Amino acid sequence: MLRLAPALAIGILLGPVAFGILATLIPAFGYLPSLGAFEVSTRYFAEVWATPGIVQSALLSLSTGLVTTAVALLVVFLFVAGWHGTPAFLRMQHFLSPLLSVPHAAAAFGLAFLIAPSGQIMRLLSPWATGSTRPPDLLILQDPLGLSMMAGLIVKEIPFLLLVTLAALPQASVARSGQIAGALGYGRMSGFLFTSWPAIYRQIRLAVFAVIAYATSVVDVAIILGPSTPSTLAVRLTQWMNDPDLALRLTASAGALVQLGLTLLAIALWIAAEWIGRLVRLSLERRGKRLARDQWLRGTALAATVLAGLAVFAGLAILAIWSVAGFWSFPDALPRNFTLDTWSRALPSIGRPLSITITTALAAVFAATALALACLELEARTGRTGGSRALWFVYLPLIVPQVSFVFGLQLFFLNIGLDATWLALAFVHLVFVLPYVFLSLSDPWRAWDQRYASIAYGLGATPNRTFWRVRLPMLLKPALAASAVGFAVSIGQYLPTVLIGAGRLPTITTEAVALASGGDRRVIGVYAFLQMVLPFIGFALATMIPAFLFRNRRDMGTAA
Amino acid sequence: MHSTFVSSAIRRSLLGAVTASAIALVAPFAHAADPDPKDWDAVLAQAKGQTVYFNAWGGATNINDYIAWAGGIVAERYGVTVEHVKLDDTANAVSTVLAEKTAGRDEGGSIDLIWINGENFAAMKDKGLMFTAGGDGWVEKLPNWSLVDFENNATIQTDFTIPVEGLEAPWGGAKLVFFHDEAREKSGPLPDSFLELVDWSKANKGRFSYPAPPDFIGSSLLKQALSELAPEPAKLLQPVEAEEFEAMTAPLFAALDALHPNMWRSGRAYPKNYPAMLQLLADGELDIIFAFNPAAASAEIAKNTLPDTVRSFTFSGGTLGNTHFTAIPYNANAKAGALVFANFLMSAEAQAQKQDPNIWGDPTILALDRLSAEDKARFDALDLGIATLKPDELGPKLPEPHPSWMVEIEKEWTRRYGAGN
């Protein structure tokens, strides 16, 4: 059984992506028998090309992907370079970690409520600073350049990249190289850049690619914060997929391939930029630049990181206030009165989406954790890791844009008669949950001291007994933490849920984004609040369960 | 727009085409003969235990709640379960049925009842996608049809110029009205026509906008403008002819060209839809918004989403009016259940509940003088609210243009304004 685990995991990661792309490829070239389309041609690509504003949409997607990633990575780099090993660093880590679990859509709503012309910042500034009791007519949200959309993505990608970087830090012996660089007169940040960063960057590179892929093809955040004249490529081709004119389905498939190409182009451009970055670093290094006076840059890095975190937290707090707001006119900083009306109106219809959300997430997380544990256990027993090739498999579903293969994936479920079923939904969630669970779990698992196992074997325990009685209990905390990450990822899934659930399997996230169309801030507040509360409950349980189980085991509190 | 993703039932059915024949083989005897609404007891017996997938726009919580309430009652009384499939564009449901028909899935379809009117009704009727109950329609055979005010309300039997012929059951009335907040200072008198609205926007820059088509309410404003501005309004009742399109719509697009630079965000962004406009009115970003439900402002005041200083007005030259309906696809899986639910939605009980501004505030399609004293009392007890115009203040009803006009206008609009500059 255990031996099959890696093959099964690779199948789950690779199969849906490969099949999904294939099933998108065929209609893109004009073959879709159910529409009576049998003629193989490239005319649908021509139609994509002929769509008004399509170049603008594509450029918008491309720039969103590159700018978002560059800014988020720069902030993370500066912050880690300037503050690693300090108490402030640890505090920020605790401050930002919960943000990882906030679904993108909820963070985007919060930001929208914060920065809109009628948003909270403007309310706090009016009328004493702006001189007006009316919101200014400014194009802040949905701006044509997509700046607010980029901001919404950046504040969410900073915690992600930061936590990925944190995981890579131990292998780079940052503290010791930092001391040596410091002794040679290098500034804290330049020392980090010259000695530790190359090794760290190599480790987080795939995560960076995943951010690029996500930001070039995101749908929900682009709907909430992005421009609409025109929208990003991913948003537009999802619209085509839903158009009453069925022939557009073929154009959408062609568009999905264009999206795939666009994402790959963004990654290629990024790789080119990596080269330039490397040359700059080498030139600084060769010229012996010490860059010792980096206080101001350290301050800026800290401020930027705090600002990103605060923006999300403040946005979420405002969401929560809106969900209990009575009438709240501009420029009042707080509602005139508070009421639970919105909650009591929403609660009866929340039950079904909530139970689908939770059962799907639990199923996907359980399967993903079991699979990840099996793979890691096999790895520990045989001593064979998958190496960097395995890491590519893990990142595959995160690097291929969702729109490029989830369309095709539906076809698969139809063919096996599982369309719009809970099972199909849970499986597709597993595809996206597994990478995160595996990545969160693998580092603590591999760091576990193998000598514990040797002692157990010495006492005659079988490998299985050792696993159940020694290794798993000692690693229960990280295992549950990884499950909580997976739970949060499942809750945040929008596009796969909408596509695979076919409108019949609503989750909190799909309902929230659907209601965003309604623009009723109170209702959005309720759903976005639930969106963020569920992952928090997951993390709370992940902390409490080991604490409860090991309440009589003093040393288990600190293990792993 | 973005909301189109919500319902992907359509995609499901398209792909379903691939396996439709397989499904047909697997479930060979799942469907009994079509119910006959004239034999109502048989319909009730057949409906018991059925699940009705009601595909209806799901963007407003009060409407969703109302549907849930109505579903709860038919479950209790008739054993019919209603599942609300929340659409944000009804066209998706139409294409679902079309795809099912293309795939040969003539029974056991995924949609049992659709909230529909206008273009979508025209498309379904045209392509033979409607349940016809033996050819002569089912609506006028329902027990509650006798209460419907079809004599005085022409839009109940003619939907956007298309004869209804008993293929869709009237559910509610609609008339275009405008809302403004009395407490907000505005320049000049309120507009009394579309062109006056264009002028008003010049004096009140950035205080008016409309959702981009194909949003329903946004398209409705364009229809209002078209009806007012077209050189030969009578032609709007006929299908559009390519050679006359430009001449008929030139004044419309000239007016839009003049309006857009003075709109909210200078016309560079649009409110997503009607509820988004409500929020913008509440925030004071917009000064005039519009709705297709004369009671909407009162309903929103009751929900705390608009201040109680909002009032309604309309154009003395008339505004668009229509009726919205429920329809059963030809391949519906639970036709009897759908009939029972559609009939209940036309009952005095359901209609009075719907007209309550605290619930939804949607005008009834019933003739109040035909109701029993007890049922009439339900309507008399309603307080329509401070911001609702009385029936005699609503002004003339302009007929809806033939649906083909909007298809062409939406295309032209997207070409001109929708794809960036």
CATH code of A507's domain: 1.10.3720.10
Taking CA–CA distances from A249, the nearest residue in chain B reads: B11
- Report yes or no on B390 lying in a domain: no
Does residue A532 form part of some domain? yes
Q: What pLDDT score does A241 carry?
A: 75
CA distance B154 to B161: 10
A445-451 contact pairs (CB < 8 A, 24+): A445/A376, A445/A380, A445/A475, A445/A478, A446/A376, A446/A379, A446/A380, A447/A170, A447/A560, A448/A474, A448/A475, A448/A560, A450/A380
State the pLDDT at residue A519: 67
Please tell me the number of Cα atoms within 13 Å of A124 on its side-chain side.
8
Report the C-alpha gap between B404 and B408 in whole angstroms: 7
**Sheet containing B288-291, strands listed edge to edge, beginning at the edge strand earlier in sequence:** B288-291, B177-181, B310-313
Q: Is A49 inside any structural domain?
A: no
Q: At A38, phi and psi to the nearest 5?
A: -120, -5
Candidates B1, B12, B270: best to mutate against A (most CBs of A within 10 A) is B12
Cβ of A520 within 8 Å of Cβ of B86? The answer is: no
Question: Over 80: is that where the pLDDT of A194 sits?
Answer: yes
| Virtual torsion, Cα A199, A204, A208, A214, nearest 10 deg | 170
pLDDT given for residue A516 in this prediction: 66
Strands B177-181, B397-398: pairing is: unpaired
**Residue B8: per-residue pLDDT:** 33
**Terminus-to-terminus CA distance in chain A, angstroms?**
27
User: What is the identity of the amino acid at A28?
Assistant: A
| Residue pairs spanning A and B at CB distance below 8 A | 239
Residues A391 and A4: their CA atoms lie apart, in Å, by: 18
| Res. A264: pLDDT tops 70 | yes
Continuous segment of H or E residues that includes residue B171: strand B168-175
What residue spans of A448-520 are helical by DSSP H?
A: 451-458, 463-466, 472-474, 476-492, 495-501, 508-518
DSSP-derived 3-state class of residue B65? helix
The reply to whether residue B8 touches residue A326, judged by beta carbons under 8 angstroms, is no
A335 inside domain: no
B368 shares its domain with B403: no
Determine the length of chain B. Answer: 421
Q: Which of A174-183, A378-387, A473-482, B409-418 has the lowest mean pLDDT?
A: A378-387
Q: Which of residues 102-121 of A touch B (CB under 8 A)?
A: 117-118
Q: Can you state the percent helix, strand and coil of chain B, rounding each to 5?
A: 50, 15, 40
Residue B110 confidence (pLDDT) = 86
Confidence band, pLDDT 50/70/90 cuts, at residue A503? low
Task: Say what the pTM is.
Answer: 0.81
Of A495, A513, A517, the CB nearest to B273: A517
- What pLDDT does B21 receive? 34
A40 domain-assigned = no
Residue B54 within any structural domain of the chain: yes
For residue B25, the model assigns a pLDDT of: 37
**Do B242 and B273 belong together in one domain?**
yes
Query: Does B115 lie in the same domain as B157?
Result: yes
B289: domain CATH number is 3.40.190.10
Higher pLDDT, B76 or A532: B76
A522 contact residues in B (CB cutoff 8 A)? 304-305
Number of structural domains chain A divides into: 1
Put simply, the answer to whether B65 touches A349 (Cβ < 8 Å) is: yes
Residue A213's pLDDT band, with cuts at 50, 70 and 90, is very high
pLDDT at A336: 87
B123 touching chain A per CB within 8 A: yes
DSSP-derived 3-state class of residue B88: coil
Residues B42 and B154 both lie in one domain: yes
Taking CA atoms, A287 is separated from A189, A282, A399, B277, in Å, by 16, 8, 37, 59
The number of beta carbons lying within 10 Å of the beta carbon of residue A382 is 10
Q: What is the pLDDT of residue A245?
A: 65
Report angle CA B246, B248, B254 to the nearest 5 degrees.
75
Residue A199 CB coordination number (10 Å): 15
Distance, CA of A216 to CA of A152 (rounded, Å): 13
**Interface contact B82, partner A, CB < 8 A:** no
Residue A39 located in a structural domain: no
Q: Which residue of B has its CA nearest to A341?
A: B303
3-state secondary structure of B113: strand
Average pLDDT of the residues of chain A: 88
* CA B380 vs CA B66, B295, B356: distances in Å: 20, 15, 11
* B165 in reach of chain A (CB within 8 A): no
Task: Tell me if B391 is assigned to some domain.
Answer: no
Q: Both tokens of residue A54? A: 């399509």
Would you tell me which residues 334-373 of chain B have a C-beta closer than 8 angstroms to some C-beta of chain A?
none
Tens digit of each residue's pLDDT (9 = 90 or more) over A279-292: 999 999 898 888 88
Considering the domain boundaries, does residue B392 fall inside one? no
Q: Is the pLDDT of residue A449 over 60?
A: yes
My answer on whether B210 and B75 are in the same domain is no
Neighbours of B244 (CB within 10 A): 14
B217 is a domain residue: yes
Q: Answer yes or no: is A311 within a domain.
A: yes
- Structural contact between residues B233 and B227, judged by C-beta atoms closer than 8 angstroms: yes
Report d(CA A123, CA B282) in Å as an integer: 14
In a domain, A133, yes or no: yes
Is the predicted pLDDT of residue A532 greater than 60, yes or no?
Answer: yes
Under 8 Å between Cβ of A185 and A292: yes
Percent of chain A residues past pLDDT 90, beyond the cut: 43
Contact A242 B10 (CB under 8 A): yes
Would you call the peptide bond into A353 cis, given omega within 30 degrees of 0 as the criterion? no
Question: Is B359 among the domain residues?
Answer: yes
Could you tell me if B63 and B194 lie in one domain?
no
What does the DSSP 8-state code read for residue A534?
H
The pair of structure tokens assigned to A373 is: 């544990």
| CA separation for the pair A2, A13 (Å, rounded) | 18
pLDDT at A313: 93
Residues B171-202 have pLDDT tens digits of 998 899 999 999 888 888 999 999 999 999 99
Residue B73 DSSP SS3: helix
**Structure tokens, B153:** 């309300």
Do B377 and B402 belong together in one domain? no
Q: Rounded to an integer, what distance in angstroms lies between the CA atom of residue B278 and that of residue B284?
A: 10
Interface test with A, best of B209, B304, B411 (most A CBs within 10 A): B304
Range of the domain at A75: 2-29+64-322+340-557
**A159, A99 Cβ separation under 8 angstroms:** yes
- DSSP-H helix ranges across B127-178: none
Q: Are residues B236 and B141 in the same domain?
A: no
Looking at the partner chain, which of B265, B277, B283 has a beta carbon nearest the beta carbon of A330? B283
Contact A375, A9 (CB under 8 A): yes
Q: Are residues B53 and B189 in the same domain?
A: no
Listed in sequence order, the residues at least 6 apart from A138 whose beta carbon sits closer than 8 Å to its beta carbon are: A117, B265
Best-predicted range by mean pLDDT among A375-389, A505-519, B54-68, B94-108?
B54-68
Q: Is the pLDDT of residue A555 over 80?
A: no
What is the rounded distance in angstroms from the CA atom of residue A62 to the CA atom of residue A70?
12
Min Cα distance A259 → chain B (Å) is 17
* Beta bridge mates, B323: B173
- The pLDDT, as a whole number, for residue B9 is 33
Tell me the chain B residues in contact with residue A224 when contact means C-beta distances shorter than 8 Å: 2
Question: Between chains, do B14 and A117 touch, taking CB under 8 Å as contact?
Answer: no
CA separation, residue B182 to residues A519, B311, B316 (Å): 23, 7, 19
Residues 6+ apart with CB under 8 A from B11: A241, A242, A249, A407, A410, A499, A502
Decide if A175 is inside a domain.
Answer: yes
Domain tally for chain B?
A: 2
| Cα–Cα distance measured from residue A27 to residue A32, given in angstroms and rounded to the nearest whole number | 5
Q: Give residue B346's domain range.
A: 2-172+324-384
B117 and B92 within one domain: yes
To the nearest whole Å, the CA of B381 is away from the closest chain A CA by: 23
Of B8, B306, B307, the CB nearest to A503: B8
Strand, coil or helix: what is A320?
helix
Instruction: Provide the residue count of chain A.
Output: 560
Pick from B285, B265, B274: nearest CA to A148: B265
Weakly modelled stretches of chain B, pLDDT under 70: 1-32, 419-421
CB contact under 8 A, A327 and B305: yes
Question: Are B270 and A417 inside 8 Å of each other by CB?
Answer: no
Same-domain pairing of B227 and B289: yes
Confirm if B226 and B401 have CB atoms less than 8 A apart: yes
Category of B315 on φ-ψ map: left (φ > 0), alpha (ψ -120 to 50) or beta = beta
* Tokens describing residue A529: 């609040």
Q: What is the mean pLDDT of residues A175-180?
A: 87
Q: Is residue B389 part of a domain?
A: no
Which band of pLDDT confidence, cut at 50, 70 and 90, is reported for residue A557? low
The residues pairing with B84 across neighbouring beta strands, listed in sequence order, are B54
> Are B32 and B154 within one domain?
yes
Q: What is the CA radius of gyration of chain A?
A: 24
Residues of A in contact with B91 (CB under 8 A): 243-244
Task: Give A123-173 pLDDT, tens digit per residue.
Answer: 998 888 878 888 888 888 888 899 999 999 999 999 999 988 988 888 778
pLDDT of A301-313, one tens digit each? Answer: 999 999 999 999 9
Q: Decide if A349 and B92 are in contact by the 8 Å CB cutoff.
A: no
